[in-house]
């Protein structure tokens, strides 16, 4: 029973560019060169790879560049396999299905200053945001790029580095910078964002814990370990559109229960960081464990891969 079909867009690999040691830029276009579905600066898409893997990547280009999706992929020999497939098997002319773009930065007239902190290849979403802010001139920004030595996507960051908009911190020469000093003092007109290795993002979240949640944005590479709730109890899911009821066993994920019931839900990270499995909820007491939804969004949505329930019954908009 399919109550939530997965929507994908057919794209063709138009170009593959070497963009640094172990990094390739992939340009995806509509087969007939039509405009692609719109996206926000720094949004991400899921790639449905030829071998069946689904992997999430940030868009490097900005929304005005609407006839292509550009992603940067670093080959991770010990990763989950997606980057190896893209680097070793995908060629120009190959057809790849992608999800509709999601996430990214929503332009806000109240924000006068953006501070981005990126670790290595984590610069990719901020390259999109920086290009958008530079073109629209709606606010100032500084991008702090923390690398060991080599700058990823150097050819694409060069002009921004020369202008002083991108500040490179090479840890091999100066050590790791103080994140508190980089983000500065919190304010309602400042938005700070971070993408990089787990240790960096954890430190960033500690440094910005007292900031308003709406002014802090974090992108993660890898999902955190699953939360094991020893007191978890079984509960019932009611799918409002179909009237179907599904029992979720104690300790079972909502995603697994839905899949057992034949419900087709889009997935990618399965750890609450990518947003692929976002579903609306109508009634109940969800226990949110994701790292992507804002407090406002949690009033209407949940991530079925990691969410729990504090009530015996949870009604989903499915």
CATH (domain of 72): 2.40.30.10
Give yes or no: residues 14 and 80 share one domain.
yes
Q: What is the mean pLDDT of residues 95-108?
A: 88
Give yes or no: residues 165 and 194 share one domain.
yes
Give yes or no: residues 258 and 187 share one domain.
no
3-state secondary structure at position 216: strand
Give yes or no: residues 168 and 199 share one domain.
yes
- Residue written as tokens 């804002």? 294
Give yes or no: residues 210 and 162 share one domain.
yes
3-state secondary structure at position 167: strand
Give yes or no: residues 119 and 179 share one domain.
yes
Give yes or no: residues 117 and 84 share one domain.
no
Is 16 inside any structural domain? yes
Is 145 inside any structural domain? yes
Give yes or no: residues 90 and 124 share one domain.
no
pLDDT, position 104:
87
Is 136 inside any structural domain? yes
Give yes or no: residues 196 and 279 share one domain.
no
The per-residue pLDDT for range 62-101, each reduced to its tens digit, is: 999 999 999 999 998 776 678 899 999 999 999 999 999 9
Contact predicate 315/293, CB 8 Å? no
Last residue of a domain, one of 40, 75, 99: 99
Give yes or no: residues 150 and 74 share one domain.
no
Domain of 92 in residue numbering reads as 8-99
Contact predicate 4/243, CB 8 Å? no
Contact predicate 277/264, CB 8 Å? no
Give yes or no: residues 307 and 269 share one domain.
yes
Last residue of a domain, one of 99, 121, 138: 99
Is 95 inside any structural domain? yes
Widest Cα–Cα separation across the chain: 61
pLDDT, position 103:
84
Last residue of a domain, one of 187, 220, 253: 220
- The distance of Cα 288 from the centroid of its chain, to the nearest Å, equals 17
Give yes or no: residues 178 and 118 share one domain.
yes
Is 65 inside any structural domain? yes
| Number of domain units in the chain | 3
CATH of the domain at 266: 3.10.20.30
Is 230 inside any structural domain? no
**1 pLDDT higher than 50:** no
Beta strands in the chain (DSSP E): 8-18, 23-29, 44-48, 54-58, 69-74, 95-99, 113-119, 140-147, 166-170, 190-196, 216-220, 235-239, 245-248, 278-283, 286-287, 301-303, 308-309, 313-316
pLDDT, position 307:
92
**254 pLDDT higher than 80:** yes
């Amino acid at each position: 029973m399919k109550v939530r079909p997965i929507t994908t867009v057919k794209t063709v690999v138009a170009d593959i560019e070497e963009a640094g040691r172990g990094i390739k830029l992939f340009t995806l276009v509509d087969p007939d060169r039509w405009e692609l579905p719109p996206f926000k600066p720094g949004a991400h898409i899921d790639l449905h790879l030829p071998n069946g893997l689904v992997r999430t990547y940030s868009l490097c280009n900005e929304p005005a560049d609407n006839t292509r999706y550009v992603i940067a992929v670093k080959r991770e020999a010990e990763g989950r396999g997606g980057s190896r497939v893209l680097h070793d098997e995908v060629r120009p002319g190959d057809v790849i299905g992608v999800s509709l773009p999601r996430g990214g930065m929503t332009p806000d007239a109240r924000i006068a200053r953006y501070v981005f902190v990126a670790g290595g290849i984590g610069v990719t979403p901020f390259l999109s945001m920086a290009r958008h802010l530079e073109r629209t001139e709606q606010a100032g920004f500084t991008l702090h790029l923390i690398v060991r030595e080599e700058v990823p996507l150097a050819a694409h960051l060069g002009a921004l580095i020369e202008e002083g908009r991108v500040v490179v911190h090479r840890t091999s020469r100066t050590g790791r910078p103080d994140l508190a000093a980089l983000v500065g003092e919190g304010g309602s007109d400042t938005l700070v964002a971070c993408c990089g290795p787990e240790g960096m993002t954890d430190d960033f979240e500690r440094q910005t814990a007292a900031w308003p949640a709406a002014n802090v944005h974090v992108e993660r590479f890898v999902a955190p370990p699953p939360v094991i709730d020893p007191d978890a109890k079984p509960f019932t899911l009611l799918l409002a559109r179909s009237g179907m009821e599904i029992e979720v066993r104690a300790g079972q994920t909502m995603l697994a229960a839905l899949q057992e019931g034949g419900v087709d839900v889009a997935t990618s990270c399965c750890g609450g960081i990518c947003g692929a499995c976002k579903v609306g909820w109508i009634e109940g007491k969800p226990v949110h464990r994701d790292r992507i939804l804002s407090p406002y969004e949690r009033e209407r949505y949940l991530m079925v891969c990691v969410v729990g329930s504090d009530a015996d019954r949870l009604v989903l908009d499915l």
